[in-house]
Each structure stands twice: as C-alpha cells, then as structure tokens.
Structure 1
Amino acid sequence: MTLPFDPRLTPARPHLADAALRGQVEAARFVTGQARRVVVPSAPLRRTPSDASGTETEAVLGDAVTFYAEEDGHAFVQLTRDGYVGYLPVGSLGPADPEPTHVVTALRSFLYPAPDLKRPPRGHLGLGARLTATGREGDYLATPGGFVFAAHCREAGFTAPDFVGTAERLVGTPYLWGGRTSLGLDCSGLVQLCLHLAGRDCPRDADMQERGLGTDLPNDPAGLRRGDLVFWRGHVGMMRDATTLLHANGHHMAVAVEPLAEARARILANSYGPVTSFRRLAPGTAAPADPFQCQVRKPGDPE
C-alpha cells in the first residue's frame, strides 16, 4: 500500500483502515470506528500490537479514542486528543460515556479502593488525568475505579494558562521515551502536556509541533522570551526566560533547566545538531470547553 499520509496520524494499515478513508488508501478491510475511553491510569500506545514494541506515546485516564479493531490483545485506535494512531492494551478501554467531570491538577495522586488514605492504592494518577466523579465521601471523590483525594482535582474545563509554570512544576521528572505523564516525559510530551493543560491544541511529536505551533522567529537567540519554543531535528524545549531553556532530555534523563547556550553547544556536538527554529506562540485565548480534546483532521479534510 502506498500511504500518502503520515502513518502516525492516519488510521490505516495494509490490513485495516478507517471506513472514512475508503478511496484514499488501500487496505484489505475498512471498518467504522467506535467511541471508547481510557479507563486505566495510563496505557502505552505502541506502533504494533506487541508488548515488545516501543511506546510511541501514552494515553491516560479519561482520554477519548476511536476504536477500530482488536488484534492480539491490543486495540487499534486513534487518540482524539491529538490524532495519534497505534495500539493500546485492549483492557485499557471502556465505554465512551459518561464524560469526565474532573481533572487531576496535582502532579501525582492515587486511586484508593475506599475513601481512606491508609488503604493500599489501586494505582497512580498523574497531572492531566481525567475522571468521572459519581459522588463524594468526605475528602474523596468517588469514581468507577475508586476514590481520589478531591483537593487534588478540579472540575473539567479547568486550565492552567501559564504553560511554562506547569513545566516548572515538572522539573526533575524522569525522562521517558514516549512518556507524557508526571511519572516520565519525553521532550515533546512535556510541551504537549503543558499546552493541553493551558487549553491549547498541540500535536504530539517535535516535528509536528515545529510545523504546527506558533510563528517563526529569526534564527537568533537574541530577543527570546518566556514561552518561546526552541526546536532541533528531533528535539524541543521551551524558554523559561530570555536565556534559560527548560526541556525533558536524555542528557540529564529528566526535565531540566539550563542555559540555552550550554544546551545548544552540547546538542550540536553530541546529538541533534543545530537549532532548526525558534517559534513564538500566540497569546493565550479563552480555553475550549474541553482543553484535552482537539479537532482531529482526517486526510482529505480542508485545511
């Protein structure tokens, strides 16, 4: 099959494709996707339906997906959040309804079997996870999966407009390829998580972000300011101020802050080469009703 679209964003493989792509791609079978939602704290999205396949990105509790088919214990899906396509463990998905009512705003929280901090937790919830509260017992929100400390959450629709401030909260978080939770992040996962919490759409990978975010600045660090994005071929960071870079990186194996000049010299010598662009985001605007869901453009849709 000749695929003229980015396979990361196109729900099509030689053996299976979205029915909406009939006539645009070749596939042995076309299916109509069904709405589902992630019902576990986090799940790896893989390129192939195998646990040995590397993690491309992560889906977290409350994420909406379009489900196409099950293969070898994995679900072929497209994430509503950013359009990313791949395979999730089939057990990580449940019904699309009801909609989430709250978002986790603490860096990390826990899901308990009862509204009691002394009970062993069922799992970890990270910043940005979304849950559906069915009631409240004391200091805890009751959800279908357990109880969450209410003060660690805000109602759905909450945004944190200072995305650099969110990134500053995550300094020290370990680097994790494909990670986008407060347990582990890669460079573009950090940018995406922080922008989504600010109510802004954001693609998943660094090359997508370089093409799709902000406006190009002169190829000169003079004049940079807080919130500007710095891109290399395969890497991205954000400016904490005029001279300081904040980024998740493999050198520190963590989200770290360092002088931009030092990062540029090291990266030029050791890994991604020269900076490819500096980009500036537009000033923040009113957040959409659901800041964690963007409009996914299918191949063939108008720009």
Structure 2
Amino acid sequence: MTRHRVSASVVDLLRSPDGPRDRQLLFGDTVRIEETKSGWTRVIADKDGYTGWLRSDQLTADAPATHWITAPATHAYQEADFKSRDLVSLSFGSKIQARTETDRFVETELGYIPKVHTAPMTAKPDDPVEVAQLFLGTPYLWGGNSRFGIDCSGLVQAALLACGLPCPGDSGEQERALGKTVIEGTPAQRGDLLFWKGHVAWVSGDNMLLHANASHMAVVFEPMDQAIHRIMDQGDGPVTAHKRL
C-alpha cells in the first residue's frame, strides 16, 4: 500500500465517504492508502492503525518529518516575522519538515514556524500527564485529536504518542492494551488511567483527574471522587478498570 501524509492542519477520519467522524489526523501524520474513489480515499493511520475515509486532496506524497509541534498550538507565518501574516494554525503533535532554521524560526512548506514551538523528531517528553496538561481548556469534541477540539481518548493518545509510547485511538481499545490492572483498593497515583464504559481519564495527582469530558465540554481537572459519583449518577456506570503504565 502507498504511504502518504496529511497535508491539512486537522482532518476528520470518517466512517464512510462524507460520513460521521470517528477520529482525526494532524498535519504530517502518515497513512497507507487502501482505496480511492470519487475524490475520497480510505486510509490506515500509521500512528494507531485506525482506518477511515478522508478527502483525497487532504493528502500529499510522504516526506520525512524533521520536527514536531510541542506547543499547544502554533502558527505558520508568511515571513520570518511574527508581525507578518499568519497562514495556518497547527496543533500540538503536528509533524513538519524543516527547510532552513534560524535562531527564531523554522522554515517549512507552510511558512515560518516559531522555533520555540518545535522540537526535533527525536526529542520526546517523559511525563504524559504533563503533556496532557497542555490541553487544559481545550473544547471537548467527540472524536477530536487536536488542540482545537479533543475527546477523552484523544487526550490519552496525544500524551502517550508524544512520549514515544504506542496507544490505540479509542478508550475501549486503550483499556485492553494499556498498562497493567491495579489491584482493587490500591491508591491511584499520578500517571494511572481510570476507565469507564466509553470514557478514560488521567490520574494527575492525589484524588485528582485530568480528562476531556462532555459534562464540562472541555479538558479539566476534576476531583476523582466527584467524577466517579457524577459519572455514576448520570447513568454511565462504575469505573471498569484502573490501569498503571
């Protein structure tokens, strides 16, 4: 299968051509093409194996990325000057190819990106919770994977992939694939994951969760006890798993 990369800032990965969104891909994400018809292409995402449809014009030939976006979001500017016109916004986790670099900017096909918002592809953080905190206040978006909108599993995946750790795209698969089950009654610690049916949250500290949720419609900190009771009261059931990475 031919490999291409995403050429738009954020792309919906659809269940069928022009159908509902299942997940999203970011600029520079690489995919393998399975099928193309009537301006639509069915792809498999390299980052997690997720399969879906996107518009064919949202893909371009693959080119090795040299840097990735480490700020929550950034802009590409027309010139190496932050007062020049901004051309496109990119989310955390987007992958870019540097043409030239200065002390302040990385020149790319999109324009000039502030160097302070980038890191070489080989540079990886080691604390996924700290990464997830970059998304605080991001609006909730079902199936979202970017700073412009994200859901619970998207938040977990963004943090783990940034740290170089593999992670599926959906919370059900994450519950099965990630970490080891913690014995019931063991106190939760920072970096643990709590799962419910259809939901996942980071443990960010003592009795505190960090998660994207539709009640707050944002990425928020929430006391663990409060979240457990709220989710139960709204009819979504108890915690189904406590996992430790």
Instruction: Kindly provide the amino acid, as one letter, of the partner of residue 258 in structure 1.
Output: E
Counterpart for residue 67 of structure 1: 33
Counterpart for residue 198 of structure 2: 234
Give structure 1 regions of 4+ aligned residues with deviation exceeding 6 angstroms. Answer: none
Counterpart for residue 55 of structure 2: 89
- Structure 1 residues not aligned, in runs of 5+: 1-32, 282-303
Q: Is the 8 A contact 1:226 1:241 kept in 2?
A: yes
Q: Is the 8 A contact 2:79 2:85 kept in 1?
A: no
Instruction: Report the TM-score, using the length of structure 2 for normalisation.
Output: 0.96
Counterpart for residue 287 of structure 1: none
Instruction: Kindly provide the amino acid, as one letter, of the partner of residue 92 in structure 1.
Output: Q
Instruction: Find the partner of 2:108 among 143, 147, 166.
Output: 143
Counterpart for residue 230 of structure 2: 266
Q: Is the 8 A contact 1:115 1:138 kept in 2?
A: no
Q: How does 1:1-303 map to 2 (within 5 A)?
A: 33-50=1-18, 53-97=19-63, 99-136=64-101, 139-220=104-185, 222-281=186-245
Q: Is the 8 A contact 1:49 1:72 kept in 2?
A: no
Task: Say how many residue pairs are matched.
Answer: 245
Q: Is the 8 A contact 1:49 1:73 kept in 2?
A: no
Q: Which of these two proteins has the greater Rg computed from alpha carbons?
A: 1
Offset of residue 113 of structure 1: 2.4
Query: Could you say what secondary structure the match of 2:205 adopts?
Result: coil
Query: In 1, distance between residues paired with 2:81 and 2:235?
Result: 48
Offset of residue 209 of structure 1: 0.3
Query: Could you say what secondary structure the match of 2:201 adopts?
Result: strand
Q: Deviations over 1:241-271 (max 9, x none)?
A: 1311111000000001111111111101114
Overall identity of the aligned pairs, in %: 36
**Once superposed, what is the RMSD of the aligned Cα atoms?**
1.3
Instruction: Report the TM-score, using the length of structure 1 for normalisation.
Output: 0.78
Query: In 2, distance between residues paired with 1:271 and 1:109?
Result: 38
Task: Using the TM superposition, name which of 38-47 and 80-89 deviates more.
Answer: 38-47
Query: Could you say what secondary structure the match of 2:189 adopts?
Result: coil
Query: Could you say what secondary structure the match of 1:114 adopts?
Result: coil
Q: Is the 8 A contact 1:219 1:277 kept in 2?
A: no
Query: In 2, distance between residues paired with 1:63 and 1:131?
Result: 9
Query: In 1, distance between residues paired with 2:235 and 2:41?
Result: 34
Counterpart for residue 21 of structure 1: none
Instruction: Kindly provide the amino acid, as one letter, of the partner of residue 64 in structure 1.
Output: T
Query: In 2, distance between residues paired with 1:110 and 1:137?
Result: 16
Q: Is the 8 A contact 1:167 1:190 kept in 2?
A: yes
Instruction: Kindly provide the amino acid, as one letter, of the partner of residue 80 in structure 2.
Output: P
Query: Could you say what secondary structure the match of 1:266 adopts?
Result: helix
Query: In 2, distance between residues paired with 1:72 and 1:272?
Result: 40
- Structure 2 residues not aligned, in runs of 5+: none
Query: Could you say what secondary structure the match of 2:86 adopts?
Result: coil
